[in-house]
């Protein structure tokens, strides 16, 4: 367990080194976060006004599907722009924001197709996880984990190859299975590292806010706001790191050679077949 955590931390540092060389890459997750909030507000207001979920199961399913479709479109589009720019940086280039977004626009039909697939799967998994049957919820959770693993390299495939969404899904699963087996330790490691950092920020923020509340309510609120902003920035940073790591992982899968920033880590050992 210690070796896995240590290796995950090294992967985080290598991704951070790439990100430090091009801080503009953090703009893509920011755009994604703002756009998803806009989509959420766009759906939430009419949902409350029209009482969508009181009009029957069919209306609810259609509404949830449309929401998922719009959210996935925004997220996958911005992730595609991030990965495209990250690939340019990993190849030694100096990408601009326009380079990333133009690459994503060029793959828009495939992105929309994948968003529709992801939305359909999302609706089905949500229904399974919300089921009263415990076994059904467990199966839904397992299928959700399998789906996440299978789609790990979908975005790099969509960006780099002239294929449709179904073929991108197939190639993503095949690349992961063929090269590293089933356990994406590196990706999980990044999430685990940032999860620990986020937990520490929450604990420290809560303690400081509690102490400040004894002196001034306004001071306590200010501290809470500052720590919430810190958590949001940390989320943006994590998203950028994950995009860089996905781009590097895809390139290694295709070429059998890790990008310069990752070679010292022996990237192939970050994934162990069960």
pTM of the model: 0.81
- Asked if residue 82 lies in contact with residue 158, where contact means CB atoms within 8 angstroms, the answer is no
Confidence of residue 182 (pLDDT cuts 50, 70, 90): very low
- Asked if residue 156 lies in contact with residue 76, where contact means CB atoms within 8 angstroms, the answer is no
Over residues 77-92, the pLDDT tens digits come to 999 999 999 888 887 7
Over residues 72-76, the mean pLDDT reads 93
- Asked if residue 84 lies in contact with residue 104, where contact means CB atoms within 8 angstroms, the answer is yes
Over residues 132-152, the pLDDT tens digits come to 788 888 888 888 878 887 888
Q: Measure the CA angle with vertex 117, ends 58 and 160; round to 5°.
A: 160
- pLDDT reading at 266 higher than 80: no
Higher pLDDT, 197 or 262: 197
Higher pLDDT, 54 or 131: 131
Helix (H) or strand (E) holding 34: helix 27-50
Q: Cβ neighbours of residue 244 under 8 Å, at least 6 residues apart?
A: 15, 18, 19, 25, 86, 89, 90
Q: What is the pLDDT of residue 54?
A: 58
Q: What is the pLDDT of residue 200?
A: 92
According to DSSP, residue 92 is labeled T
């Amino acid at each position: 367990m210690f070796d896995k955590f240590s290796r995950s931390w090294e992967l985080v540092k290598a991704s951070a080194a790439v990100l430090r060389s091009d801080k503009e890459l953090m703009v893509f997750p920011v755009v994604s976060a703002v756009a998803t909030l806009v989509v959420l507000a766009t759906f939430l207001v009419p949902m409350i006004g029209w009482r969508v979920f009181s009009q029957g199961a069919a209306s609810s399913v259609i509404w949830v599907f449309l929401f998922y479709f719009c959210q996935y479109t925004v997220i996958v589009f911005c992730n595609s722009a991030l990965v495209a720019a990250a690939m340019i940086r990993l190849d030694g280039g100096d990408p601009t924001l326009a380079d990333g977004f133009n690459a994503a626009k060029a793959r828009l039909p495939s992105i929309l197709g994948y968003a529709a697939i992801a939305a359909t799967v999302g609706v089905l998994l949500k229904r399974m996880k919300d089921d009263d049957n415990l076994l059904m919820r467990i199966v839904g959770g397992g299928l959700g984990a399998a789906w996440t693993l299978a789609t790990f390299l979908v975005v790099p495939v969509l960006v780099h190859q002239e294929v449709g969404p179904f073929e991108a899904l197939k190639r993503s699963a095949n690349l992961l299975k063929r090269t590293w087996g089933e356990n994406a330790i590196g990706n999980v490691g990044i999430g685990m590292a940032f999860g620990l950092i986020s937990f520490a920020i929450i604990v420290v923020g809560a303690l400081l806010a509690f102490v400040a509340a004894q002196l001034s309510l306004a001071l306590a609120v200010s501290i809470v706001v500052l720590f919430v902003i810190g958590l949001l920035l940390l989320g943006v940073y994590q998203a950028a790191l994950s995009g860089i790591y996905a781009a590097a992982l895809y390139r290694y899968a295709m070429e059998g050679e890790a990008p310069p920033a990752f070679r010292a880590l022996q990237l192939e050992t970050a994934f162990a077949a069960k």
